């Protein structure tokens, strides 16, 4: 039950070769994704190995400042990635994403570490960094989807919004359907993941624990906790971001300024 099988370098190269097949399929179908697939493969390879070496060192030299340095770096990088996918470039928007991602991640993470798992010591990097990575990454995806949809819909429906404003509607009411649609699109992936959990999908954390020899029922508890907190994090962070983003859409006179 506690046995696990190591992947040698040749086994890893076989999986890398599979990505070249993906690039070939893209090229043959003229999808123009080969460059992105290559860069994504290369980045994931080096980023994960770099993180692996960093975690190996920090596990051996456990200090609270290592834990929080990695957590801050993770949030900043996720903020940049979410911001990079947005068409409108505005430093205030970057600050909003950073704030929403930080608050929307730290609240559920605090619940996980100090109310559910009750880790010791309080800065235990073995728990904080891997679980934080799952929460932050999913929140980043929700923010990207929701905010991009929000800004695109406002741009597309600008004339309709201005008409509503001219007829006496408040800025909040004039974009309410757009706000609801954007919020829905942002949190939908995490809700859909819950629907197929355990039937069509065995999530990564549960699979990893089972492969490492942990009891399947104990793995289920961890996975459910993570999935529910991911949904909580995405819902909270996206709500904060969309509310803040109204400030770059309207001025104090409730006129559209983007």
Tokens standing for residue 228: 């529910």
The DSSP call for residue 115 is: I
Residue 123 dihedral angles phi and psi, to the nearest 5°: -105, 20
Please tell me the predicted confidence (pLDDT) of residue 4.
Answer: 62
Instruction: Say yes or no to pLDDT of 11 above 60.
Output: yes
Task: Report pLDDT for 128.
Answer: 93
Provide mean pLDDT across the span 104-114.
Answer: 96
Mean per-residue pLDDT, 6-26? 91
Note the pLDDT tens digit of each residue in 148-168: 999 999 999 999 999 998 898
Nearest Cα to Cα of residue 125 among 49, 61, 47, 212: 61
d(CA 173, CA 162): 12
- Characterize 114-142 residue by residue with b for buried, 16 or more Cβ atoms within 10 angstroms of its Cβ, and e for exposed: eeeeebeeebebeebbebbebbbebbbbb
Report the C-alpha gap between 203 and 32 in whole angstroms. Answer: 30
The stretch 88-100 carries a mean pLDDT of 92
Percent of the chain topping pLDDT 90: 61
The β-bridge partners of 256 are 250
pLDDT in the model for residue 208: 81
13 pLDDT higher than 80: yes
Q: What is the dihedral of CA 162, 167, 171, 176, to 10 degrees?
A: -90
């Amino acid at each position: 039950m506690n046995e696990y099988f190591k992947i040698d370098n040749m086994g890893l190269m076989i999986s890398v070769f599979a990505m070249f097949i993906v690039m070939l399929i893209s090229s043959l179908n003229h999808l123009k994704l080969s460059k992105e697939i290559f860069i994504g493969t290369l980045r994931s390879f080096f980023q994960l190995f770099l993180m692996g070496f960093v975690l190996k060192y920090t596990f051996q030299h456990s200090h609270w400042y290592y834990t929080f340095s990695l957590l801050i770096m993770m949030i900043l990088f996720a903020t940049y990635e979410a911001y990079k996918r947005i068409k409108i470039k505005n430093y205030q928007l970057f600050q909003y994403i950073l704030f929403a991602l930080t608050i929307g991640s730290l609240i559920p993470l605090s619940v996980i570490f100090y109310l559910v798992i009750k880790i010791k010591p309080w800065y235990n990097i073995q728990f904080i960094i891997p679980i934080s990575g799952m929460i932050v990454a999913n929140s980043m995806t929700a923010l990207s989807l929701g905010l991009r949809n929000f800004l695109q819909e406002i741009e597309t429906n600008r004339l309709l919004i201005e008409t509503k404003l001219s007829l006496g509607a408040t800025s909040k009411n004039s974009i309410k359907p757009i706000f609801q649609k954007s919020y829905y699109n942002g949190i939908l992936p995490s809700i859909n993941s819950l629907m197929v959990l355990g039937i069509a999908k065995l999530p990564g954390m549960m699979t990893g624990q089972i492969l490492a020899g942990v009891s399947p029922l104990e793995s289920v508890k961890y996975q459910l906790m993570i999935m529910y907190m991911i949904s909580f994090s995405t819902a909270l962070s996206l709500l904060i971001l969309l509310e803040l983003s109204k400030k770059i859409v309207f001025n104090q006179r409730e006129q559209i300024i983007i």
